[in-house]
Amino acid sequence: MAGKEMHAAGSPCCADSRREQVIKAAADCFRQHGFHGAGMAGIAREAGMSVGHIYHYFANKEAIIAAIVQRDLADMLEKIAAFEAAEDVFRHLLDCVDEGVEMSIDPYEAGLWLEILSEASRNPKVSAMVSEADAIVRARFRNMLRNALQTGWVQDERELNGRVEIISAIFDGLIIRSVRNDDFDKEAIMRSLKMVMQYLLSA
Amino acid sequence: MAGKEMHAAGSPCCADSRREQVIKAAADCFRQHGFHGAGMAGIAREAGMSVGHIYHYFANKEAIIAAIVQRDLADMLEKIAAFEAAEDVFRHLLDCVDEGVEMSIDPYEAGLWLEILSEASRNPKVSAMVSEADAIVRARFRNMLRNALQTGWVQDERELNGRVEIISAIFDGLIIRSVRNDDFDKEAIMRSLKMVMQYLLSA
pLDDT of residue A8: 40
Q: For an interface test with B, give the residue of A190, A196, A197 to mutate (most B CBs within 10 A).
A: A196
Asked if the Cβ–Cβ distance from A37 to B33 is below 8 Å, we say no
Give the ipTM: 0.91
CA–CA dist A73, A65 (Å, integer): 12
Q: In chain B, which residue's Cα lies nearest the Cα of A35?
A: B34
Q: Show me where the domains of chain A are located.
A: 7-57, 61-200
Q: Name the nearest CA neighbour of B127 among A114, A116, A98, A88.
A: A114
Q: For B181-193, how does the pLDDT look when each residue is reduced to its tens digit (9 = 90+)? A: 999 999 999 999 9
- For domain B9-57, give the fold: Arc Repressor Mutant, subunit A (1.10.10)
Residues of chain B with C-beta less than 8 angstroms from the C-beta of A117: 114, 176, 179-180
Asked if the Cβ–Cβ distance from A192 to B162 is below 8 Å, we say yes
pLDDT of residue A92: 94
Q: For A84-130, how does the pLDDT look when each residue is reduced to its tens digit (9 = 90+)? A: 999 999 999 999 999 999 999 999 999 999 999 999 999 999 999 99
Q: In chain A, which residue's Cα lies nearest the Cα of B186?
A: A162
Q: For B73-98, how does the pLDDT look when each residue is reduced to its tens digit (9 = 90+)? A: 999 999 999 999 999 999 999 999 99
CATH of A61-200, one of 1.10.357.10, 3.90.960.10, 3.40.50.300, 3.40.50.620: 1.10.357.10
More confident residue, B186 or B13: B186
Confidence class for position B15, pLDDT limits 50, 70, 90: confident
pLDDT of residue B10: 43
Query: On the CB side of B80, how many CA atoms lie within 13 Å of its CA?
Result: 18
Contact B201, B145 (CB under 8 A): yes
- Name residues whose C-beta falls within 8 Å of residue A113's C-beta, 6 or more positions apart in sequence: A175
Contact A109, A68 (CB under 8 A): no
**Is the pLDDT confidence value at B1 over 80?**
no
A7-57 and A61-200 share one fold: no
DSSP tally for chain A: helices H, then strands E = 11, 0
Q: Name the nearest CA neighbour of A68 among A37, A30, A95, A97.
A: A30
CA–CA dist A43, A26 (Å, integer): 5
Q: Name the nearest CA neighbour of A196 among A76, A105, A93, A99.
A: A93
More confident residue, B147 or A65: A65
CA–CA dist A8, A6 (Å, integer): 6
pLDDT of residue A13: 60
- Name residues whose C-beta falls within 8 Å of residue B28's C-beta, 6 or more positions apart in sequence: B46
Write out the CATH class of domain A7-57: mainly alpha
**Is the pLDDT confidence value at A2 over 50?**
no
In angstroms, what separates the C-alpha of B178 from chain A's closest C-alpha? 9
Q: For B117-126, how does the pLDDT look when each residue is reduced to its tens digit (9 = 90+)? A: 999 999 999 9
Q: One-letter amino acid identity for B115?
A: E
Asked if the Cβ–Cβ distance from A161 to B37 is below 8 Å, we say no
Q: Indicate the SS3 state at residue A202.
A: coil
Confidence class for position B30, pLDDT limits 50, 70, 90: very high
